Amino acid sequence: MESKKNTKKRTLSIRKIAMAGVLVAVAVAGSLISFPVAGSKCAPVQHMVNICAAVFLGPAWGVGVAFCANIIRNLTGLGSLMAFPGSMVGALCCGLMYRFSKKIIPTCIAEALGTGILGGLAAYPLAKYVMLIQPEGMFIYIVPFLISTVAGSIVAAIVMLILKKNGADLKICIEGIENDSLESYLRQFDVTCFQGYHYSRSICQDELMKLLIKP
């Protein structure tokens, strides 16, 4: 049983690493799609990626995707240090929102507010003490950050709602479940759909009722 658990855990990790790599690539490539707004570069793709990571991977992975994408963007000259506070704070906020609500619209709102307000505030000390810029007030970055994140959040909301409307399953489905302990173990990795011998074997009435009322 332990080996099966390890196999399932490795499978989930490989899937998440692959998805994270794709999202990092999308975020970096999306940096080429930007336009100036109020003296700031509006690059909405990163914020769309944040929401996708929140839905498919979770908050910790979302922050990791944003961090890796920003490292690559800075090394290749496609971004600046200002991208770190906005994207990473937004990724954390929308990731936590989706984890607890499982709803797309509140997740998009959390991304917009997390990046626009919290990220905009966090950008001020970074600009002043690390980049040695003298910004005109601590709220100077909120409006540009909001413009960028709202654009990306709207795109992400449209894409995610279309996927759900067309029957796309945003949950993780695991096959081969043979007992309660394996199911309970996998739930901590946000697995929500199960199938396997555990659900197809002949069972008594009491066991059937337990399965039917299980959340």
| Domains of the chain and CATH, by start | 2-165 (1.10.1760.20), 172-213 (no CATH)
Element (H, E) at 58: none
User: Please, how many CA atoms are within 13 Å of residue 23, restricted to the half-sphere of its CB?
Assistant: 29
Residues 197-212 as b/e (b if ≥16 CB within 10 A, e otherwise) read: ebeeeeeeeeeeeeee
pTM comes to: 0.71
Could you tell me the two tokens for 68? Answer: 């890796």
| Number of Cβ within a 10 Å radius of residue 182 | 19
Give the pLDDT of residue 1.
45
* CA-based nearest residue to 175, from 2, 4, 1: 4
pLDDT digits (tens, 9 = 90+) for 111-170: 999 998 998 898 888 888 888 888 787 888 888 888 888 888 998 889 888 877 765 554
Chain CA centroid to CA 152, Å: 13
Give the pLDDT of residue 135.
78
Q: Taking the C-alpha atoms of 109, 110, 116 and 122 in order, what is their torsion angle to the nearest 10 degrees?
A: 180
Ranges under pLDDT 70 in the chain? 1-12, 35-42, 166-179, 182-183, 185-205, 207-215
Q: Compute the distance between CA of residue 209 and CA of residue 187 in angstroms, rounded to an integer.
A: 20
